[in-house]
Structure 1
Amino acid sequence: MDAQAYGRESDRRQSEIQHDLPRLLDRAARGAGMDRAEWQIQRKGDEQLAVRPLDGTEPRLVDDYVRHLAAELRRYNAQRVPEARMRLRAVIHQGLVELAENGFAGSAVVATARLLNAHQLYGALAAHSGADLALLLSDDVFRSVVAGGHTTLTTDDFTRVTVQVKEYEATAWLRVPGAGASPAASSEYDVEETRRPATGEVSREKAAGRESAVETEAGGARGISHEYRSGNVNVTHMYGSVDARGAVFGFGSAGG
């Protein structure tokens, strides 16, 4: 994790970020049923490198933890003026790590650092000014966890990019939680024409989703329907906490 534009902040704001960042990360982990006290964490100002064992809960890290982190950032930033928002770049990678005298060692650590400096992460936050978080998964994590069907996410929730930082070059998968794709977003991410793993279809991917088209009733033409139908309304009231992980909510009328 790394806080965006930290170096441009005042001394007082930098101290505030260093105070608030670990607390946000801790709350997100607790919300996902994880305990960061069990992780090895290397702290560096606005940045944290956390190492955790491969224990079978990797899908929860990619899915639940990231979702709770996005929610924590949203609540945190809602109480602040735009100039005081905290926006994070995040990377998840896996591999062998050694505990060294001054931190962590290993090619997996180097790869994680390179991914965190990918210009596609900076471009994603620039393209989505309302987003609080941009995430990159290494190709290994993406294929084993997301493409393997172990999360509520799908391959279409991510955009394939090629990261080139110093001597490092690799495929990675980009996601901006909660952000809709803008028509011009792909060029800002340096998105390449790629092959979707799930369908084999070659297409130019959007950054955080794709434009959807629906059949309109007038002549069957393709387009976006903005018609509101209020003939049939069903209302469901929920009280207290609701665990809706994996749920799908639909809104519409009985007539279509």
Structure 2
Amino acid sequence: MTTLSGAPHGDGGCGDQPRRLPPYQALFAVDIRDYSGHQGRDHAELTRRIPRILNAAFRRAGLGELWSEEIWQRMIGDSYVAGFRSSVLPLLLNPLLGALQAQLRHENRTDVIGDPPRPLRMRVSVHVGPVTEPTGDRDTDGSGAARVEVHRLLDADAVKSLLSRAENDTCVAAIVSERAYCDAVESGYTGERPSSYARTKVKVKNYEATAYLRVPHSTGELVARGLLPPEAAEDSERSAQQLSGAAGLPIGSVGRDAVQAGTYKDNRVVGVGTARDIDNVFTGTHGPVYIGDGNGTDRRPSRRRRPRRDG
């Protein structure tokens, strides 16, 4: 790591020399759901398949050249992690997640593993942050807090529950850091609707953060109840009710002061506030504020700017 000599000393701080920040990289990690549930004799074959499946998914997405431009990569058991140029971050979400879903469905139909056969399903985490570049020492390449965080996201209960609540045909469940979501999705670079992602809280060991869930192909309970687990969806609704109650506005009333609490397809509250009062404060996770007729049948983006608190 390069240090700066002759830098002025401040009155505070710990006395360490300042250092240059490593370059930001887009981090992409995967592992196999229920790897330990496969027979031990199949573990080596599963490990061998992961890079091949990812290579095929990149090519299926039209990103074959990107696959060959990895800055570094590691394979440990059923886990794979790699660093890419930060500029390709949006492509790791769209079209890659959809292509990985399609590739795993193909694998499960044509080349299954196990006796009895068990479908291959993967969790994916995507992050962006400063990590060290390759120096020839594979043990230290790609080091940094962001590297730790992408693994913590992969271990979060929120993303693990997605595959357990979906049918086997849902092969990919992804979790995206808040930084990656804001830079790639909310800014429009992925070309996706932000509402395709569900905001959640993550706590793994001593790591706590906000993250976003994404499933390219929803089945089972995910279709009926959304990406958030039931307890998280209930927490969102309670928070909306508390915010509305604090403003002294009755939820569900009709008329000029009617309050609309929206829990839409992804079980996230999009807007809470009066349906017709243009000066009302709206709250939500992200994206456009919606107004309606009070019964949820007329939802359209507001054309007026409103003060807003992100939840």
Give me the TM-score of the superposition, normalised by structure 1.
Answer: 0.72
Partner of 2:48: 19
Please list, as runs of the form range in 1=range in 2, the aligned pairs for 1:1-256 lying within 5 A after superposition. Answer: 1-32=30-61, 33=63, 34-39=65-70, 40-54=72-86, 56-79=87-110, 80=112, 83-98=117-132, 99=134, 102-103=139-140, 104-130=142-168, 131-180=170-219, 181-184=222-225, 186-188=228-230, 190-191=232-233, 192-193=235-236, 203-204=262-263, 207=266
Q: CA deviation at 1:60?
A: 1.6
Q: CA deviation at 1:101?
A: 5.5
After TM superposition, the runs of 4+ consecutive aligned structure 1 residues lying more than 6 A away are none
Asked whether the 8 Å contact 2:50–2:80 carries over to 1, the reply is no
Asked whether the 8 Å contact 1:176–1:208 carries over to 2, the reply is no
Give the distance between the partners of 1:119 and 1:4, measured in 2 at CA.
Answer: 12
Give the distance between the partners of 2:265 and 2:296, measured in 1 at CA.
Answer: 19
Query: Which amino acid letter does the alignment assign opposite residue 157 of structure 1?
Result: S
Asked whether the 8 Å contact 1:157–1:208 carries over to 2, the reply is no
Q: CA deviation at 1:89?
A: 0.4
- State the number of aligned residues: 207
Q: Whose Rg is larger? A: 2
Give the distance between the partners of 1:27 and 1:72, measured in 2 at CA.
Answer: 7
Report the 3-state secondary structure (helix = DSSP H, G, I; strand = E; otherwise coil) of the residue aligned with 2:80: strand
Report the 3-state secondary structure (helix = DSSP H, G, I; strand = E; otherwise coil) of the residue aligned with 1:179: coil
RMSD: 2.9
Partner of 1:246: none
Q: CA deviation at 1:177?
A: 1.1
Give a deviation string over 1:206-236, Cα, whole Å, max 9, x none. Answer: 55999xxxxxxxxxx999xxxxxxxxxxxxx
Give a deviation string over 1:21-62, Cα, whole Å, max 9, x none. Answer: 1111001112332432321111112110101122x2222221
Identity over aligned pairs, percent: 26
Give the distance between the partners of 1:207 and 1:77, measured in 2 at CA.
Answer: 27
In structure 1, list runs of 5 or more residues that go unmatched. Answer: 196-200, 211-220, 224-256
TM-aligned CA distance change 1:157 to 1:45, over 3 Å: same
Report the 3-state secondary structure (helix = DSSP H, G, I; strand = E; otherwise coil) of the residue aligned with 2:128: coil
Give the distance between the partners of 2:268 and 2:47, measured in 1 at CA.
Answer: 32
TM-aligned CA distance change 1:182 to 1:35, over 3 Å: closer
TM-aligned CA distance change 1:206 to 1:189, over 3 Å: farther
Report the 3-state secondary structure (helix = DSSP H, G, I; strand = E; otherwise coil) of the residue aligned with 1:164: strand
Give me the TM-score of the superposition, normalised by structure 2.
Answer: 0.60
Q: CA deviation at 1:202?
A: 6.0
Q: CA deviation at 1:158?
A: 0.8
Report the 3-state secondary structure (helix = DSSP H, G, I; strand = E; otherwise coil) of the residue aligned with 2:187: coil
Give the distance between the partners of 1:21 and 1:209, measured in 2 at CA.
Answer: 33
